[in-house]
Amino acid sequence: MTKTQSKKADKTRIGLYPGTFDPITLGHMDIIQRAAKLVDVLVIGVAKNSGKGPLFDTKARAKMVEHEIAHLKKHGLKIEVRPFDNLLLHFAQEVGAKVIIRGLRAVSDFEYEFQMAGMNYRMNNEIETTFLMATDRYQFISSRFVKEIARLDGDVSSFASPNVVKQLKRRFSQESGRRLVKPEVRD
Ligand code: ADP
């Protein structure tokens, strides 16, 4: 079989859901579950995204995502978690995705997502970006606010899974521990 023939024979629809997932929230989970029904294989791309100064490193974020999707995989959904640090479109090509899936909350995400989708389409018009509207009860959830609330010891259990809540607590207790042992600065 030639390369082109094998490509034609392989009709597997692969979708890529990229994000920082710092950390994964119930909003992300909702998009994952819905997106997984639209494609044969869903690749969750965990971006290194050091520009955003993530709280958790890529490995820890990917591990949390893996933990959350374990039950979906058990139910037969084909989902993979892959960290990435290159251009999104290159990563999409690397995994064979023909569609990039993003979530859209209210109006706040629109402008950024609109520009990103437009530029990506210009660079490669064989890869489409598609958007899933956030479900109303998850509309307002963002990783950023989950972190801010957890940092101040607020209850984030209705925004993230028990495992994520545990990881946040662990992370912030380490931070406050470090602050406590820091030697006093005198001038
Ligand atoms: P990024 O840094 O790429 O925006 P995020 O982890 O913040 O990474 O978000 C990944 C994707 O998930 C984005 O498309 C974002 O709009 C979407 N998303 C984040 N939170 C929610 C939510 N509560 N409901 C629906 N989509 C969401």
The tens digit of pLDDT for each residue in 17-72 reads 999 999 999 999 999 999 999 999 999 999 998 888 999 999 999 999 999 999 99
The reported pTM is 0.90
Residue found under tokens 């997932």: 21
Distance (Å, whole) CA 149 – CA 116: 29
Catalytic site includes residue 108: no
Residue 185 — very low, low, confident or very high, per pLDDT cuts 50/70/90? Answer: very low
**Protein residue closest via CA to atom 12 of ligand 1:** 103
Residue 67 falls in the annotated catalytic set:
no
How confident is the model at residue 74, as a pLDDT?
A: 94
Three-state DSSP at 128 gives strand
Q: Is the CB of 142 under 6 A from ligand 1?
A: yes
As a whole number, the mean pLDDT across the chain is 91
pLDDT at 144: 96
User: Is residue 181's pLDDT more than 80?
Assistant: no
Instruction: Quote the CA–CA distance of 88 and 53 in Å, as a whole number.
Output: 18
Which residue's structure tokens are 């082109």?
4
What pLDDT was estimated at residue 155? 97
Domain 9-139 CATH (choose: 1.10.150.120, 3.20.20.10, 3.10.450.50, 3.40.50.620): 3.40.50.620
Q: How far away, in angstroms, is 22 Cα from ligand 1 center?
A: 10
Active site residue 186: no
Shortest-distance Cα residue to atom 27 of ligand 1: 103
pLDDT at site 32 = 98
